[in-house]
Homo-oligomer: A and B are copies of this chain.
Amino acid sequence: MRKKEIPIIAGVSNRHVHLSREDVEILFGKDYQLTPIKDLGQPGQFACKETVIIVGPKGAIENVRVLGPERKETQVEISLTDAFKLGIMPPVRDSGDLEGTPGIVIVGPKGSVIKEKGVIIAKRHIHMHTTDAEKFGVKDKDIVKVVVEKGDRRLIFDDVLIRVSEKFALEFHVDTDEANAAMLKTGDVVYIVEEL
């Protein structure tokens, strides 16, 4: 059933925030620099010491991790479980595609921002380097199926977006709802499968 016997490592993304320079300064103070504490699976990406509170019409979620580096636009990535708690209904989107997404209030230690847009549920995807794409025989923005073969909740994710770049490392990204539905943990192995 596997398309290629090439294992792909899974990375489970908990809710997190990418911040613009402007929002870093509002939330944490003028000229503030984010503090990296852990490298992530993708080269150059890191988790920061800093956390914020995100607030919607129905609730708030504390201790939401800030990821670096800073981005041009602030982006908040949550699970559908989180969305129910906050009382907003973001679309399933690829990172950076923020047009028409709902807003949110972000509260930091030095200030707060009211974002008019920027909240998404991240579309599950596989980051891969150009050389990986050649091995798999896929290209950027292809859609593939991914199988979780082990554990008590085996399943096949359809609608998995391929993202190819020379800056990417091979990694399958899902959010916590998706990981929990499949009993999948960061570091577990998944495979691309043939068309059904």
- Copies per assembly: 2
Note all chain B residues with C-beta closer than 8 A to A174.
181
Chain B's closest residue to A193 (CB) is: B196
Tell me if A158 is interfacial: C-beta within 8 Å of chain B: yes
Tell me if A52 is interfacial: C-beta within 8 Å of chain B: no
Note all chain B residues with C-beta closer than 8 A to A123.
152
Tell me if A48 is interfacial: C-beta within 8 Å of chain B: no
**Residue interface mask A69-95, B partner, CB < 8 A = 1:** 000000000011100000000011000
Tell me, rounded to whole Å, the shortest Cβ–Cβ distance linking A160 to chain B. Answer: 9
Contact present for B153 and A155 (CB under 8 Å): no
**Size of interface on A: residues with Cβ below 8 Å to B:** 26
Given A80-B183, A92-B183, A182-B181, do A155 and B155 touch, yes or no (CB 8 Å)? yes
Tell me, rounded to whole Å, the shortest Cβ–Cβ distance linking A32 to chain B. Answer: 31
Chain B's closest residue to A194 (CB) is: B196
Tell me if A188 is interfacial: C-beta within 8 Å of chain B: no
Note all chain B residues with C-beta closer than 8 A to A155.
155-159
Q: Which of A174-190 contact B (CB under 8 A)?
A: 174, 176-178, 180-183
Tell me if A114 is interfacial: C-beta within 8 Å of chain B: no
Report how far A79 CA is from B124 CA in the complex, Å: 20
List 15 A-B pairs, Cβ < 8 Å: A80-B180, A81-B81, A81-B176, A92-B152, A92-B153, A123-B152, A124-B153, A152-B159, A155-B157, A155-B158, A156-B156, A156-B196, A178-B180, A180-B181, A193-B196
